[in-house]
Amino acid sequence: MCIGLPMRIVLGGEFTAACERRGETQAVSLALVGPQQVGTHVLVHLGAAVRVLGAEEAQRIDDALDGVAAALQGRAFDHLFADLIDREPQLPDFLAAGRGGHSSGK
């Protein structure tokens, strides 16, 4: 399984940036998101920034990744999914819109 990781730009350029996550730095392509300011969070997949993130969203992704690791190790993880505790799961709008019925295409 391939996943994107949130990283923070520490040195920006026009086409690439040095991005940091948990003390490790790597060169990341900015071809899909364009030049970004130092300090910007981006979602990195296979060496390319695929989306610009807000700091809060980047933290939620990091927490979720930590939560999955904790669950696999048999450790407590509920606190890492604080945004999901005590609420009913909801489909994204683009999926919920089709719940009323299926089009037969006729």
pLDDT at residue number 20:
98
Q: Which amino acid is at 34?
A: G
Tokens 């999955």 found at: 68
Exposure pattern of 15-52 as b/e (b: 16+ CB <10 Å)? ebbbbeeeeeeeebebeebeebeeebbbbbeeebbeeb
Predicted TM-score of the model (pTM)? 0.75
Q: What's the confidence (pLDDT) of residue 100?
A: 57
Residue 99 is predicted with a pLDDT of: 61
Distance (Å, rounded) from C-alpha 63 to C-alpha 54? 14
Instruction: Delimit the domains of the chain by residue range.
Output: 5-81
What's the pLDDT score for residue 105? 46
Q: What is the pLDDT of residue 89?
A: 77
Per-residue pLDDT of the chain (106 residues; tens, 9 = 90+): 578 999 999 998 999 999 999 999 999 999 999 999 999 999 999 999 999 999 999 999 999 999 999 999 998 888 888 777 778 878 888 888 766 545 444 4
Q: CATH fold of 5-81, please?
A: SH3 type barrels. (2.30.30)
How many other CB atoms are there within 10 angstroms of residue 67's CB atom? 19
